[in-house]
Structure 1
Amino acid sequence: MTMKILYGAAPEDVKGYDTEQLRNAFLITGLFAADAVNFTYTHVDRLLLGGAMPVTKSVTFGSGAEIGTPYLLSAREMGIANLGDTGTVSVDGQSFTLDNRDVLYLGRGARTIALASLSGNSPARFYMNSVPAGADIPHRLIRKGDSKPVELGDISRSNKRRLAMYIHPEVAPSCLLLMGITDLAEGSVWNTLPPHLHERRMEAYCYFDMAAHDRIIHLMGRPEETRHLVVANGDAVLSPAWSIHMGAGTGPYAFVWGMTGENQEYNDVAPVAVAELK
């Protein structure tokens, strides 16, 4: 298991960042390496973000040595989304089978987590978000069909999309973590319109189901001084509370969104008119 540390940045700092500095601070690449578990710990709301792709063997994690606790989830909860083919997650001897687009919620106190693919020729791709938790909530597997879909956008404005809530008070409870998956309709390219801020929560995006040659142009920053990141398949983006988050793709794509902060009110946002962006 590897653990990268990111300290976050203030909007005043970002004004002077070049492309490499911006990418180093907010873009996470290389999440899905064969037979490895890669985590990034960010001081932005202490989100832990990770990826794993077991190919020839199962991969195991659970030690909290990197974060100063007996186990990684001693005081944390976690969501695990399978973005690949069928795989299994074993948690302290309890086994769950995750098909594509299934999400597993792990409550505080889990000790040893093992990830495996049903077939190495078509491996699972496990994407993980973990945040501090102050409550004990049982583990729960949320199938794709159990998620709550919400239709958003308009095909005439190229932003029609379906948002599926998984770890959410209306579907599966958690302490502070929210997690779901958004798919763009055929012919739509824009996500997260209108752009907005949520001062009381941060968010992370993981873009997936993209062709190797396609890219997402992810817009971030203060509304009056935006920046952009060019994002490839399997890359993740950190979005602090002070930043807008929206983007457009050069081809079909989907993304996992994860949030944490002061509340779980999905609509606790401050919309920003596109005409006000600079």
Structure 2
Amino acid sequence: MVGADNQRLREDFLLETLFEKDRLNLVYTHIDRMIVGGAIPAEAALEISDGAAVGTEGFFDAREMGIANLGGAGVVEVDGQRFEVANRDVVYVGRGTKAVTLSSLAADEPAHFYMNSVPAGVDLPSVLITKAQSKPVTMGDEARANKRTLRMYIHPEVSPSCLLLMGITQLAPGSIWNTEPPHVHERRMEAYLYFDLAPEDRVMHFMGEPSEVRALSVANLQGVLSPAWSIHMGAGTGPYAFVWGMTGENQAYNDVTPVAIVDLR
């Protein structure tokens, strides 16, 4: 990252156009082989099944996936099993699945499906995890403008997976920092998807090694990739939430190394 200009950083780490009407966009990140995707199935259903791009006959032959709905009510069908997915519900799709079909209940209020997929070594059943079933954890401090509620969805304490972790964090009114102080987790990478931002607002997402901190300006429904060597910390100019997804050597959420603000350069 040292020596990269702002445009290079955006090309390598920012996912600007994940969501397009009636189109499935999947990005193979090559960071721990996570695939990040977005879909807005308004007029037509969208299917995930072909594995040519990942070198297998079927997409899920050696992969699992988390699908979060950030829009209107939708439907995720997994090998014919129908899950009705409300806003901020998540579907876990297990390895060995043949086909996933995404659709919306109303074309004028379509679902916005956000996807994280990673290699998996075990077969686990696909399941719907509703917002009510997620595990909320409140953290931070209003005085430091970093109070937030983190909801675990795909997590050993809620719904198991092989290596994928996935959840949604909502900032409290008046708070702007999504984590502060920052940290790194050398044994896991992370992907962020910022959402529920007003068109005029941005999240300033700080990344890089602690001695080389840089910032990306991130708009609504844009994603950021955070390699294991990078800090991550963000501040919004208005209200926002974000989906976090992780994969790597373990699923220990607290396996992190904090970085003091005074040590950032």
The two structures have a TM-score, normalised by structure 1, of 0.94
CA distance in 2, matches of 1:69, 1:252: 41
Is structure 2 residue 255 aligned with structure 1 residue 275?
Answer: no
CA distance in 2, matches of 1:262, 1:232: 30
Q: Who is 1:234 aligned against?
A: 221
Unaligned runs of at least 5 residues, structure 1: 1-13
Contact 2:78 2:126 in 1 (8 A): no
2:30 to 35, 43, 46: 43
Is structure 2 residue 227 aligned with structure 1 residue 262?
Answer: no
CA distance in 2, matches of 1:190, 1:106: 31
- Secondary structure of the residue aligned to 1:183 is strand
Q: Who is 2:13 aligned against?
A: 26
Q: Give the CA RMSD over aligned residues.
A: 0.6
Q: Who is 1:219 aligned against?
A: 206
The two structures have a TM-score, normalised by structure 2, of 0.99
Q: Who is 2:84 aligned against?
A: 97
Is structure 2 residue 110 aligned with structure 1 residue 123?
Answer: yes
The percentage of counterpart residues that share the same residue type is 62
Q: Who is 2:60 aligned against?
A: 73
- Secondary structure of the residue aligned to 1:225 is coil
Question: How big is the shift at 1:60?
Answer: 1.3
Deviations 1:98-149 (A, max 9, x none): 0000000000011111110111111100000000000010011000000000
CA distance in 1, matches of 2:89, 2:103: 15
Equivalent residues in 2 for 1:168-179, closer than 5 Å: 168-179=155-166
Question: How big is the shift at 1:57?
Answer: 1.3
- Secondary structure of the residue aligned to 2:242 is strand
CA distance in 1, matches of 2:205, 2:87: 25
Equivalent residues in 2 for 1:128-139, closer than 5 Å: 128-139=115-126
Deviating runs (4+, > 2 A) in structure 1?
Answer: none
Alignment-mate amino acid for residue 136 of structure 1: D
Alignment-mate amino acid for residue 63 of structure 1: D
2:2 to 15, 21, 38: 15
Unaligned runs of at least 5 residues, structure 2: none
Aligned residue pair count: 265
